[in-house]
Structure 1
Amino acid sequence: MNIRRTRIAATTLVAALALTGLSTAAATAATPAKAAKRVTCVGSNTKVTVSKVSRPVNHLLIKITNTGTRTCDAYYAPTVSFDHDTWHAKTLMDSQPQAVVSLFPGESGYASLGLAGEGHHHQHRAKHATLTFKARNGGSTHTAPDTLKLPAGTVVNDGAYVSYWQYSAADALVW
């Protein structure tokens, strides 16, 4: 009986010490994270570019790079319209990632822009796109939109769509 009690007491002591060590380490690690407040990715703390890709066809790649000093969160999908709101890209809901795309300073996030939806026929030669970021609640960030010059010869139809923000170009271009 004494050996069994000794083992139980030793196991309990080791577990208590392990928990104490873990909780102290977790509290120490959490302190700096709370101090560094995150912000929403918007035009003033990112650089936005749009480029043509070879695959998939009829797609462009939107890239945002965090140019700020704090981590920014890219919520949902950007709102994209063409040539002063003539055409709007629909959000591709199936492209929603598991978590919000959080970008450290210098990191980039991506969204794909599908130019032609199936079964849509009304086409428009677009020269510019307007991109607006979304807030955490899904509404507008109420910041000035970014106006992007599109690659020459860009043609969109009324089925154009945009994916949610992704961490990699490859993930964005799946959509």
Structure 2
Amino acid sequence: MSITTFTARRARALRLAATGLTAVAALTLTACNSSEGSGTKSEGMADTANSAPADKASNSKDGAEAGKDGASGGAAQDGSPQGGADKGGSAKAGSEKGGAANSGGSKGSSGSDNSEQEIGPCDINKLSIGVKTVKRPLNYAVLEVNNHAGVDCNVVGYPILNFNDAQAAIPVNEASKPQAVVTLAPGETAYAGIRLSAADGSGKHGYKATSLKVYLQDSDDSKSVELPGGSLYLDSTAQVTYWQSDLANALD
């Protein structure tokens, strides 16, 4: 064999070997790539399998929270239930406000009633007072008072009559008590009958009165009154009636 032939064969063998090594390397690389791709794909499936429920749960939780927030927001906007409470509060406030207005109206009405001045007792210093005798009944006199106060006033109870500065006033005839207190408008007159003595002479301790002081109940003020003819005869039967708005009732 010639050197040239040997060299050519050796070169061919080397090329074949190189080609074989190249093919083996290629196959190995392909196998590696295929294994890596399969591994990546497997990992991808694992990630999908493992992460999907988590993501789904996360999404569900987020969705629930979003729904809760949305419901809460809707409640606030719609007024139910939170909005309803606010509405109810507003309605209640309105009702209370209306009640306050009504109450204010009532108060105004009450104020209108209170604006009417209450009628007080008469002031003896603003009354003109006189005594006169009458023919019937016998031994009777009449005490008259006239209102000069310019406003209505009440003559309460009966007059307190003190003759001759005695220690006690003459008693009252309880049977003469009227059903209501006598009210005098300006210029009006009230009457009280005075029985001076018994018509049949049955009275005792008769005396001649030359002075008279008149008091109104619940007042310390008095007024001296002149007696007709300068004097009157009285005995133990002397009495005075309650104030009357009519003269006939004072003499009954």
In the aligned structure 2, how far is the partner of 1:31 from the partner of 1:119? 58
- Aligned pair in 2 of structure 1 residues 34, 56: CA closer, same or farther (>3 Å)? farther
Question: Larger relative contact order (C-alpha < 8 A, sep ≥ 6)?
Answer: 1
1:90-111 Cα deviation digits (max 9, x unpaired): 1110000010000011111000
What's the offset of the Cα at 1:86? 5.8
- Aligned pair in 2 of structure 1 residues 32, 126: CA closer, same or farther (>3 Å)? same
Instruction: Judging by fraction of residues, say which structure has more helix.
Output: 2
- Aligned pair in 2 of structure 1 residues 44, 159: CA closer, same or farther (>3 Å)? same
In the aligned structure 1, how far is the partner of 2:202 from the partner of 2:192? 23
Structure 2 unmatched runs, 5+: 1-108
Identity of paired residues, percent?
Answer: 25
Give the alignment partner of residue 158 of structure 1, picking from 236, 239, 242. Answer: 236
In the aligned structure 2, how far is the partner of 1:38 from the partner of 1:151? 33
Give the alignment partner of residue 189 of structure 2, picking from 89, 96, 108. Answer: 108
Q: Give yes or no for contact 1:60–1:112 (8 Å, CA) kept in 2.
A: yes
What's the offset of the Cα at 1:149? 1.3
Describe the SS at the equivalent of 1:130: strand
2:250 alignment counterpart: 172
- Aligned pair in 2 of structure 1 residues 122, 105: CA closer, same or farther (>3 Å)? same
Q: Give yes or no for contact 1:39–1:70 (8 Å, CA) kept in 2.
A: no
What's the offset of the Cα at 1:43? 1.4
What's the offset of the Cα at 1:42? 2.8
1:111-157 Cα deviation digits (max 9, x unpaired): 001101474311111111111001xxxxx312x21111111251001
Structure 1 unmatched runs, 5+: 1-26, 135-139
Q: Within 5 Å, which residues of 2 pair with 1:26-41?
A: 31=112, 34-41=115-122
In the aligned structure 1, how far is the partner of 2:136 from the partner of 2:187? 26
1:54-112 Cα deviation digits (max 9, x unpaired): 11111110111110021110111111110112663111100000100000111110000
State the one-letter code of the partner of 1:65.
N
State the one-letter code of the partner of 2:243.
W
State the one-letter code of the partner of 2:196.
L
1:81 alignment counterpart: 162
Give the alignment partner of residue 127 of structure 1, picking from 210, 233, 237. Answer: 210
More displaced, 146-155 or 59-68?
A: 146-155
Q: Give yes or no for contact 1:110–1:168 (8 Å, CA) kept in 2.
A: yes
State the one-letter code of the partner of 2:215.
T
Describe the SS at the equivalent of 1:170: helix
- Aligned pair in 2 of structure 1 residues 165, 113: CA closer, same or farther (>3 Å)? same
- Aligned pair in 2 of structure 1 residues 121, 38: CA closer, same or farther (>3 Å)? same
Describe the SS at the equivalent of 1:48: strand
**What count of residue pairs does the alignment treat as equivalent?**
142
RMSD: 2.3
What's the offset of the Cα at 1:53? 0.8
TM-score, normalised relative to structure 2: 0.52
2:219 alignment counterpart: 141
